[in-house]
Structure 1
Amino acid sequence: MILIEISCPAGCFSEADRSRIVEHIWNIALSDDHAPTETMRRARQMAHLGFRELTDWHTGDGPVDSKDAPPVIASVSVPQAWQDETARHMIGVIKAAVRRVDNEHGWSRAPGSLWVLINGIVDGSIGMDGKASTADEVLQAMVADYQEAVKEGRSEPFPDGMLVDPMCGMLVRPGPHAITLEHDGETIGFCAVACRDAYRAQHALV
Structure 2
Amino acid sequence: MMFIELFVTAGALDPAQRRRVAQRLGTIQELGNGEPDQEQMAPRSAAVYADMFQVVVHEPEVWVVGEKVLTAQDPPHCLVRVHVPGPWRKDLSETLISYATRIIADEFEDGDLPYRRPTVQVHVMGVTEGSIGMLGKAATSDDIVEMLSKPYQEDATAGKALRDPMCGVLVPLDESTATVELDGELFAFCCGGCRTEFLAKREKAATPSDLDRARPRPLSGVFGSRPC
Which of residues 148, 171, 178 is equivalent to 1:142? 148
- Contact 1:42-1:142 at 8 Å conserved across structures: yes
**What SS is found at the alignment partner of 1:132?**
strand
d(CA) in 2 for partners of 1:146 and 1:69? Answer: 47
1:29 to 18, 28, 31: 31
1: CA distance between counterparts of 2:121 and 2:7?
10
Range with bigger deviation, 61-70 or 94-103: 61-70
Match of 1:121 in 2: 127
Give the Cα–Cα distance (whole angstroms) in 2 for the partners of residues 81 and 102 of structure 1: 33
For the residues of structure 1 that align with 2:79 and 2:52, how far apart are their CA atoms?
A: 22
- For 1:48-87, list aligned pairs within 5 A: 48-87=54-93
Q: CA-atom RMSD, angstroms?
A: 3.4
Identify the range of structure 1 (8-17 vs 135-144) with the bigger mean alpha-carbon deviation.
8-17
Q: Does the 8 A contact of 2:5 with 2:55 survive in 1?
A: yes
Q: Which residue of the other structure, out of 200, 210, 216, is the alignment partner of 1:177? A: 200
Cα separation, 1, equivalents of 2:122 and 2:140: 24
**Percent sequence identity over aligned pairs:** 20
Gaps of at least 5 residues in structure 2 are 161-171, 181-185, 204-228
Q: 1:38 to 1:152 in 2, by over 3 A?
A: farther
**Alignment correspondent of 1:162:** 179
Q: How many residues align?
A: 178
Q: 1:174 to 1:149 in 2, by over 3 A?
A: same
Residues 36-94 of structure 1, C-alpha deviations (whole Å, 9 max, x = no match)? 21111111111111201211222243220212332211100101110011101010111
The change in CA–CA distance for 1:176 and 1:56 in structure 2 (over 3 A counts) is closer
Amino acid corresponding to residue 162 of structure 1 in structure 2? T
Q: 1:36 to 1:65 in 2, by over 3 A?
A: same
8 A Cα contact 2:4 2:81, kept in partner: yes
Residue 35 of structure 1: SS of its match in structure 2?
A: coil
In structure 2, the residue matched to 1:102 is 108
Corresponding letter in the other structure for 2:18: R
1:156 deviates by 5.1
More contact order relative to length (CA 8 Å, sep ≥ 6): 1
What TM-score comes out, normalization by structure 2 length? Answer: 0.64
Return closer, same or farther for 1:120/1:51 CA change in 2, 3 Å cut-off: same
Q: Which position in structure 2 is the counterpart of 1:38?
A: 44
